[in-house]
């Protein structure tokens, strides 16, 4: 426990509201967590998997009406509506508190109230932040113990400080009509009710690490970003770090855990994973931008994960992992999901718990948004510096999207301001798998549209302010697109491990080792500077030229789409971003 009066006063206030049958503080001790796991297995909240093949692993099934983030029920509650911006659902704080308090009133009468002290980032790092989550779900406790650093060590680091984020969660009745995820940035508070799905209830994840943290970052002069962090080690043993933002379905985790092509591996190149989802970035003592991964685990999408697409992620899941909403193979008590292999089990249960024959059923075995929660320390390519309290220095920032035509394979911004514009206009096109309207452009600036805790126009302004502070030590900014297709709809670039070839060019640019051609949208590679050794039969110089081609008519159509997207931000859109849009249009017309 703790003597911190701010913590104790808040816990007492919440205990009076919730009226739990008992209170348990999470200490972080292994025997406490194992005891809770055993209890959850006994009640059916978790299913114990084959402990020889998957030691420490369990399966959880969420309610059928509770399988994903609920953006329409997610609110930013600030005193002024303009502060939340057009990118967020808004409600006045007092109105939201008044609406939610009855939902929490006495909700834990027959339940234990678990109090989880947790650290986002390495415990004791000056860049880390501390939070508490109150919950009535053992599933939440065990996930938070993987995703964050929990327990007494966090209480010790907090000491007597009142600088912590207050998180309250209850599964309540899992009533989707009364499901809310409410953020109160001015109060450092998060309330989540009537959900058990990780994205809505692991309050250290998107709620704290992005929505609240982005608000704090603007106030305190740092950045909370929806970015992976990876290190590229060259044959001389030097490691350069890259942060990258991608919307969903763009291969973010695959890039974070990339396996270099054989020609690179033979030369001694390695990829090190620092984080797969979130980066907190601060200006270090030497004036460079440094990033920490505030998380301690991965909450990854399972379908499509296999030996080819992401062998490191697959290996990470084989120990001490909580699987959510995947199929259960009854023959050997292991798990299966679409995309794992071509041999679905015949004697199985689907994610809902119904009997399922994977070779005959037309229904899915695993939910499309099924997940794994796994410890970062179990990843085979986890960086030796992933818990460095000062973070890792960032050489390059990447933005990317899924564009069938317009965006080239890679291009570089002219400077930080132009790079901010690239991030602000980031987009993907919908595919047949996601919607009936194929090719619809969805803007997702910096992959932060659902996660920015304040007005996104001001967020672009904060990026520009950070660039002013970094000056000539700012990372270079690039845009990549692995998804360009030919006239037959076939991907032109091999992707996966071969994306290393693009990272190689990017780092060569950062070190001024190669030149580039300046065109209307920025700098593009010279064809001969993209290493195609070993894939010459797949990627000819002619194909590379096509991959790097920019067609003004396509881009001018994109400009009109960008104007439409920016319109709701009105006067909050920085003039520098408007200038970059005007400059792009002018360049394309000349």
Q: Is 434 labelled a binding residue?
A: no
Three-class SS of residue 100?
A: helix
Question: What is the sign of the dihedral through the CA atoms of 172, 166, 37 and 73?
Answer: positive
Q: Which helix or strand (DSSP H or E) is residue 393 part of?
A: strand 392-400
Is residue 510 part of the annotated active site? The answer reads no
Annotated binding residue at 199?
yes
251 marked as binding residue: yes
Q: Say whether 370 counts as a known binding-site residue.
A: yes
Query: Does residue 269 have a known ligand-binding role?
Result: no
Ligand-binding site membership of 197 (annotated): yes
- State yes or no: 98 annotated in a binding site: no
**Does 453 belong to an annotated binding site?**
no
Asked whether residue 508 is marked as a ligand-binding residue, the answer is no
CA distances from 125 to 282, 306, 392, 523 (A): 12, 35, 13, 37
Q: Is 496 annotated as a binding residue?
A: yes
498 is in an annotated binding site: yes
Is 43 known as a binding-site position? no
Are 484 and 405 within 8 A, CB to CB?
yes
The response to whether 66 counts as a known ligand-binding position is no
Do the annotations mark residue 35 as ligand-binding? no
- Of 28, 23, 189, 7, nearest to 109 by C-alpha is 23
Residue 160 known to bind ligand: no
CA distances from 21 to 100, 109, 112, 134 (A): 21, 5, 6, 14
Rounded distance between C-alpha atoms, residue 458 and residue 448, angstroms: 13
Contact 533, 263 (CB under 8 A): yes
DSSP line for 84-114:
H-TTSEE--HHHHHHHHHHHHTTTTTTSEEE
20, 112 Cβ separation under 8 angstroms: yes
Alpha-carbon distance of 310 to 340, in angstroms, equals 10
252 is in an annotated binding site: yes
CA–CA separation, 60 vs 322, rounded Å?
7
Convert 504-515 into a string of H (helix), E (strand) and C (coil): HHHHHHHCCCCC
Find all residues with CB under 8 Å of 101, minimum gap 6, and list them: 17
Asked if residues 254 and 309 have their Cβ atoms less than 8 Å apart, the reply is: yes
566 labeled binding residue: no
Structure tokens at 169: 């969660």
> Which one from 250, 379, 381, 452 is the annotated catalytic residue?
250
293: nearest Cα among 395, 349, 224? 224
Q: Which residues are catalytic?
A: 250
- Residues making up the annotated binding site are 69, 197-199, 206, 226, 248-254, 277, 369-371, 402, 496-499
- Residues making up the annotated binding site for Mn(2+) are 206, 226, 277
- Residues making up the annotated binding site for substrate are 69, 197-199, 248, 369-371
- Residues making up the annotated binding site for GTP are 249-254, 371, 402, 496-499
């Amino acid at each position: 426990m703790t003597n911190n009066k701010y913590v104790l006063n808040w816990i007492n206030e919440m205990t009076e509201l919730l009226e739990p049958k008992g209170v348990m503080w999470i200490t972080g001790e292994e025997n406490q967590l194992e005891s809770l796991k055993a209890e959850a297995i006994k009640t059916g909240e978790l299913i114990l998997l084959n402990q020889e093949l998957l030691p420490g692993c369990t399966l959880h099934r969420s309610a059928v009406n509770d399988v994903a983030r609920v953006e329409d029920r997610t609110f930013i509650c600030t005193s002024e509506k303009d502060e939340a911006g057009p990118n967020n659902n808004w409600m006045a704080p007092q109105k939201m508190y008044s609406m939610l308090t009855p939902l929490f009133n006495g909700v834990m009468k027959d339940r234990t109230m678990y109090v989880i002290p947790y650290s986002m980032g390495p415990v004791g790092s000056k860049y880390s932040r501390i939070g508490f989550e109150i919950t009535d779900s053992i599933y939440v406790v065990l996930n938070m113990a993987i995703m964050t650093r929990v327990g007494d060590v966090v209480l010790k680091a907090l000491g007597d400080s009142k600088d912590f984020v207050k998180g309250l969660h209850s599964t309540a009745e899992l009533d989707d009509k009364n499901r809310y995820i409410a953020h109160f940035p001015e109060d450092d508070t998060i309330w989540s009710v009537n959900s058990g799905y990780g994205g809505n209830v692991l309050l250290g994840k998107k709620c704290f690490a992005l929505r609240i943290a982005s608000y704090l970052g603007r106030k305190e002069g740092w950045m909370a970003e929806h970015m992976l962090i990876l290190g590229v080690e060259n044959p001389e043993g030097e490691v350069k770090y890259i942060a990258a933002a991608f919307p969903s379905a763009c291969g973010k985790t695959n890039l974070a855990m990339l396996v270099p092509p054989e020609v690179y591996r033979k030369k001694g190149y390695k990829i090190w994973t620092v984080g797969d989802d979130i980066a907190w970035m601060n200006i270090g003592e030497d004036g460079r931008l440094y990033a920490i991964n505030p998380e301690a685990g991965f909450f990854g999408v399972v379908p499509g994960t296999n030996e080819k697409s992401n062998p490191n992620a697959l290996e990470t899941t084989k120990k001490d992992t909580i699987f959510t909403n995947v199929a259960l193979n009854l023959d050997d008590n292991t798990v299966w999901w679409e995309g794992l292999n071509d041999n679905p089990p015949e004697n199985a249960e689907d994610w809902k718990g119904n009997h399922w024959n994977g070779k005959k059923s037309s229904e899915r075995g695993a939910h499309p948004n099924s997940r794994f929660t796994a410890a970062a320390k179990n990843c085979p390519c986890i960086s030796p510096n992933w818990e460095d309290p000062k973070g890792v220095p960032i050489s390059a920032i990447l933005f990317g999207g899924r564009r069938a035509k317009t965006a080239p394979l890679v291009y570089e911004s002219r400077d930080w301001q132009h790079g901010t514009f690239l991030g602000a206009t980031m987009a993907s096109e919908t595919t047949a798998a996601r919607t009936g309207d194929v090719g619809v452009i969805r803007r997702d600036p910096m992959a932060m549209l659902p996660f920015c805790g304040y007005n996104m126009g001001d967020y672009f302004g904060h990026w520009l302010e950070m660039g002013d502070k970094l000056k000539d030590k700012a990372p270079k900014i690039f845009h990549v697109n692995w998804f360009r297709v030919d006239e037959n709809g076939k991907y032109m670039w091999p992707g996966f491990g071969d994306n290393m070839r693009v990272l190689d060019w990017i780092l060569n640019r950062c070190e001024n080792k190669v030149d580039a051609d300046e065109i209307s949208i920025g700098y593009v590679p010279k064809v001969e500077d993209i290493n195609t050794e070993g894939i010459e039969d797949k990627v000819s110089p002619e194909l590379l030229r096509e991959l790097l081609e920019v067609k003004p008519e396509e881009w001018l159509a994109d400009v009109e789409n960008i104007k439409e997207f920016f319109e709701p931000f009105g006067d909050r859109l920085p003039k520098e971003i408007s200038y970059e849009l005007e400059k792009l249009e002018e360049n394309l017309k000349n």
